[in-house]
Structure formats: structure tokens, C-alpha cells
């Protein structure tokens, strides 16, 4: 028995969130977009990493503007941040939630003429989202004139105009420049109003996309902002999971649900204590791998809810024991690697991690600067 493998917390999975790397990523993006102001997207519990600790670390690094998707996310985050932090609700408010949101000092993104009307009665600050080609949220061009008049009449202060890029991770996609041109044309109707346009990928499309404010999620969390390009961000997340069972199988033995893997020869199988309920998506069945002592151990058989099985035959005898920790995310395997193997994107890997891992937050450097 390897004594160092004993974990006194009783945990069998360890998620480490490096808030110093997060702060470095914020500072890297902020310096890249200057004189624009870098803001943070902390929706979906900061992509699964914990909206409160993540937002606090970003605040310490200088961030003052935070985007969540839903009103209830904003309600949770509001008391955790100092009063000079602004919290924006990307999806806007459901009819009837306006007064309560106003009381909490939340700032809605107005995505439709109806949301504009419902908020205008309060004459409080808001953000207006324009649809520049994604057809998801944002006031459609044909309703923009009416929205503008409504806001002017009510005396609603517009903090900035917003829109979202549909293809920002792909610089070769002509939709980017089309959306940029559309944004410029529409914004001309709002003279002097600031613009918040670029997400993580948009920042790396060039200075033309930066405007007054930029708005990043995935790059802060270490994900690659541009597909197929070297990732300039520091990794924020590391994930290790314990070995909970080891056995030697003979050739011709079925492994896992529905017996989708049958051993071709004598095989040492390790069962690892995380499954699809922990973000190891079921699409990783018979695909992808974990790492142990710089060796790649392929996932064999179906991913279960609470475990996966890997082929550990390549390891020298007795190097892996009960309680050994394998790497899922770390120096050998990036978020993008796991996402590719799972047939998805880094965003979905992060937001699927779940709440069963023992979490460690590495605290940021209190001096708040690099070096």
C-alpha cells in the first residue's frame, strides 16, 4: 500500500482551481485589449468552477463587470461582491422580475422590445443587446427604432450596446466581419454609446473587435480562445481521480455495460472513481484516456455514472495501487484534448464537472501583479 495515496478527506476525486492562473489570464486579456476594459462572464457558476471564488479573485485582479446568464445567478452573486462591482444579466429578466432586480442593483441586458418596455418604467441603467446575425438574443433590427425611442422617452441610461459573435473561435469564418460591420452600422444610431462585443475568441480576431469593453469566459478559465491555434492562456483546472479497483482479465473478457469492450489479450484493468455524473461524458466510452506516470491509459468500455475502466496493462507491475491518482486534466491532457475525445467543446467539459470532487482553490498572489 502506497501511504502517500491515502487521502484523509475520504475523497476519490480532486479538482484544483488555480485562482492565480485565473487572475493571470484576466491580466493577459486586459493588457491585450487596452484601452478597452476587460469584463468577465461568470455564468453557469463560472463555467462550473465556482462563481463566488472565481468572481472574488477576478475582482482582486481589477475586474469590475460580471456577466451571469440568469437572474437567480445574479441574486446569489450580488452579496458576494463589493458594491462597485456591476452584475449584468445576459438573458435579461422575465416579466415581473424587474422591481426585485432593480432593488438588488442588477443590470439587465435588454434583448427584445418587450424587455425594453418592461424595464423602461424604472428609468434605471441597462444594456441593450442588438442581434447582429446570431438570431438568438438581441433586439432585431426592425424593432430597433422603436426600442431606441422607448429608451429615450423613459430616460433609461444605456451603459453600452452589446452583441455576440457566433463564430469567433474561427478567424477564417466570414461571419465575424459581417457581424462587426453590422454592429458598427447599428451602433451609429446610438451616437456616443459604448460597445461591448468580443467574447474570448473575438479578442483574438484583432483590435477592430475590441471597442470599449470585451467580455470573456472560456479564456479566463484556461480554454483555448481560437480553435487549432496555440493556447496563450494558463491552465486553471486540474483534475485527478482515484483508482478504486484493479484486476487482471483474461483474453475475451467483456468490460462494462453492454460488453462494448472485449479484451484482446490478458489485460490489467483499473476502475477509476468518476463517471458521467462527474463530467466524464458518456461519449468518452471506448475513447479518450487518463494519464498515470506519463503513460496514457485508454478508456475501455462504457463510461458509467460513477466510474470508468481503463487499460493499465502498459504500466510496470505494482506502480499503480488502490488509491493511486490518475490525471484527467493536467500537464498531459488539456481541456481541449478531453473535449475532442468526447466530441464536444471545452465549455461543456467544464460545466459538466459537477459537485462530487474535493475542490481546492489555489489562492491568488495577494500583490495582485505578475512576476
Ligand X SMILES: *Cc1c(COP(=O)(O)O)cnc(C)c1O
Instruction: Give the dihedral sign, CA 212/218/220/226.
Output: negative
Using Cβ positions, the residue closest to ligand X within the complex turns out to be: 217
Q: In this structure, are residues 112 and 94 in contact, taking their beta carbons and an 8 Å threshold?
A: no
- CA 333 to chain CA centroid, Å, is 17
Give yes or no: 257 in active site.
Answer: yes
Figure out which of the listed residues 33, 218, 236, 249 binds ligand X, where binding follows CB under 6 A.
Answer: 218
Binding span for ligand X by CB under 6 A among 180-188, 215-223, 235-243, 273-281: 215-223
128 binds ligand X (CB under 6 A): no
- Cell numbers found for residue 350: 467544464
Residues 6 or more apart whose Cβ sits within 8 Å of residue 11:
242, 357, 358
Cβ burial 70-102 (10 Å sphere, 16+ → b, else e): bbebbbebbeebeeebbbbbbbbbeeebbeebb
Instruction: Rule CB under 6 A: say whether 216 interacts with ligand X.
Output: yes
SS3 341: helix
**How many alpha carbons fall within 13 Å on the CB side of residue 32?**
26
Between residues 143 and 348, which has the closer beta carbon with respect to ligand X?
Answer: 348
Of the residues 12, 156, 179, 200, which one makes contact with ligand X according to CB under 6 A: 200
Contact pick of 21, 30, 33, 41 for ligand X (by CB under 6 A): 41
| 179 near ligand X, rule: CB under 6 A | no
Among 50, 92, 217, 256, the residue binding ligand X under the rule CB under 6 A is 217
Among the residue ranges 28-36, 212-220, 248-256, 268-276, the one whose residues contact ligand X (CB under 6 A): 212-220
Among 37, 210, 211, 215, binds ligand X (CB under 6 A): 215
Phi-psi region of 302 (alpha: psi -120 to 50; beta: other; left: phi over 0): beta
Number of chain positions touching ligand X (CB under 6 A): 12
Contacts with ligand X, residue ranges (CB under 6 A): 41, 43, 90, 164, 199-201, 215-219
Q: Any idea which residues carry the catalytic annotation?
A: 43, 257
Amino acid at each position: 500500500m502506497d501511504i502517500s495515496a491515502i487521502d484523509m478527506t475520504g475523497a476519490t476525486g480532486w479538482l484544483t482551481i488555480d485562482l492565480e492562473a485565473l487572475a493571470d489570464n484576466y491580466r493577459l486579456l486586459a493588457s491585450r485589449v487596452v484601452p478597452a476594459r476587460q469584463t468577465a462572464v461568470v455564468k453557469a457558476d463560472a463555467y462550473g468552477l465556482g462563481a463566488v471564488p472565481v468572481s472574488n479573485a477576478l475582482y482582486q485582479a481589477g475586474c469590475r463587470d460580471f456577466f451571469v446568464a440568469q437572474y437567480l445567478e445574479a441574486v446569489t452573486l450580488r452579496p458576494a461582491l463589493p458594491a462597485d462591482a456591476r452584475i449584468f444579466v445576459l438573458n435579461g429578466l422575465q416579466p415581473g422580475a424587474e422591481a426585485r432586480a432593480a432593488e438588488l442593483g442588477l443590470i439587465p441586458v435588454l434583448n427584445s422590445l418587450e424587455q425594453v418596455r418592461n424595464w423602461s418604467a424604472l428609468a434605471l441603467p441597462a444594456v441593450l443587446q442588438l442581434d447582429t446575425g446570431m438570431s438568438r438574443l438581441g433586439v432585431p433590427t426592425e424593432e430597433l427604432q422603436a426600442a431606441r425611442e422607448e429608451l429615450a422617452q423613459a430616460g433609461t441610461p444605456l451603459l453600452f450596446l452589446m452583441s455576440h459573435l457566433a463564430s469567433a473561435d474561427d478567424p477564417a469564418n466570414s461571419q465575424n466581419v459581417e457581424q462587426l460591420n453590422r454592429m458598427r452600422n447599428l451602433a451609429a444610431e446610438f451616437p456616443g454609446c459604448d460597445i461591448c462585443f468580443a467574447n474570448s475568441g473575438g479578442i483574438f480576431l484583432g483590435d477592430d473587435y475590441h471597442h470599449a469593453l470585451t467580455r470573456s469566459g472560456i479564456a479566463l478559465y484556461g480554454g483555448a480562445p481560437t480553435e487549432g491555434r496555440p493556447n496563450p492562456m494558463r491552465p486553471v483546472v486540474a483534475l485527478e481521480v482515484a483508482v478504486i479497483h484493479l484486476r487482471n482479465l483474461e483474453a475475451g473478457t467483456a468490460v462494462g455495460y453492454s460488453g462494448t469492450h472485449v479484451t484482446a489479450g490478458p489485460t490489467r484493468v483499473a476502475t477509476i472513481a468518476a463517471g458521467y455524473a462527474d463530467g466524464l461524458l458518456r461519449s468518452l466510452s471506448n475513447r479518450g484516456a487518463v494519464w498515470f506516470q506519463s503513460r496514457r491509459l485508454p478508456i475501455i468500455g462504457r463510461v458509467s455514472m460513477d466510474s470508468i475502466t481503463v487499460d493499465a496493462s502498459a504500466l510496470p507491475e505494482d506502480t499503480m495501487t488502490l488509491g493511486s491518482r490518475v490525471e484527467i486534466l493536467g500537464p498531459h491532457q488539456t481541456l481541449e484534448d478531453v473535449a475532442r475525445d468526447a466530441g464536444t467543446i471545452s465549455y461543456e467539459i467544464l460545466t459538466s464537472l459537477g459537485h462530487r470532487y474535493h475542490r481546492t482553490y489555489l489562492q491568488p498572489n495577494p500583490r495582485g501583479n505578475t512576476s
